[in-house]
Amino acid sequence: MTAVLYDVRDGVGLITFNRPERLNSWGPDIAAGCYAAIDRAEADPAVRAIVLTGTGRGFCAGADLGGGAQTGPDTDVADTDVSELVGDRPPHFLTELRKPVIAAVNGSCVGIGLTHALMCDVRFAAAGAKFATAFTRRGLVAEHGITWMLPRLVGMGAAMDLLLSGRTFLAEEARELGLVNHVVAPEQLLERAMAYARDIAENCSPASLAVIKGQVYRDALDDVAAVSARAEALMYESLARPDLIEGITSFFEKRPPNFPPLT
């Protein structure tokens, strides 16, 4: 069975974790397949947005420490090669892509699976989907940048609650906290997430998407004066791109825009 599936539909690269028998727990096979699919989507001019989801009852139920669906009392996790398990890229590489990444969280989203979901730009979740940081309940520490991203999404107080307690919470609470953007019926999840991504692919400038995404994640680390100065320089650059003329022309002509692909 292929660990990660990849398909392109109407300008959207669909990446699907495909180890449902172990709730798509993160391991070397999922990691390698995910990175390869991301690289294909990022390099393909026809792909303008990316959707990340899972098969079965899990989005990604954490790290596969036991090399299988279960980690039992006889599993010697001390011998786990963390670098091999995680792969050659930390989850925050998703924030460094030029294209928007939409998570469609279909089920259990725990540990490193939650970290990957948080590093996506927009999150849809199936009603009733379960989330947890879980680190404190496994004797682990908060990993791979989740302590940078989670407080920015939900605030310091809520982040401390979720990280320290390691408790399980549902998609509905995740929406109230601001951790996910949309909660939809499970049977509508992929359709809704794909429609959202398709709208971006059809109507948004790839160059603008790439620049704005870079601005958001980089600007979070800087002061407002430096951010404003950079934004002004980027604005002048955007005025020279053909995307601006096409965006204005298509608006006045009341037609969908035909933006050029990323180069």
Task: Quick: pLDDT tens for 116-169.
Answer: 999 999 999 999 999 999 988 888 888 888 998 999 999 999 999 999 999 999
Residues 6+ apart with CB under 8 A from 76: none
> What confidence score (pLDDT) does residue 77 get?
45
Q: Is 24 exposed, middle or buried (0-12, 13-18, 19+ CB in 10 A)?
A: buried
- Is the pLDDT at 85 greater than 80? The verdict is no
Secondary structure (3-state) at 130: strand
Alpha helical stretches, state H, the chain: 28-43, 82-86, 112-119, 146-154, 156-165, 171-177, 189-203, 206-219, 224-239, 242-252
The identity of residue 90, as a single letter, is P
Q: How confident is the model at residue 207 (pLDDT cuts 50, 70, 90)?
A: very high
Which one, of 6, 12, 37, 8, lies nearest residue 203 by Cα? 12
CA distance 213 to 97: 8
The dihedrals phi and psi of 25, each to the nearest 5 degrees, come to -55, 140
Residue 88 is predicted with a pLDDT of 79
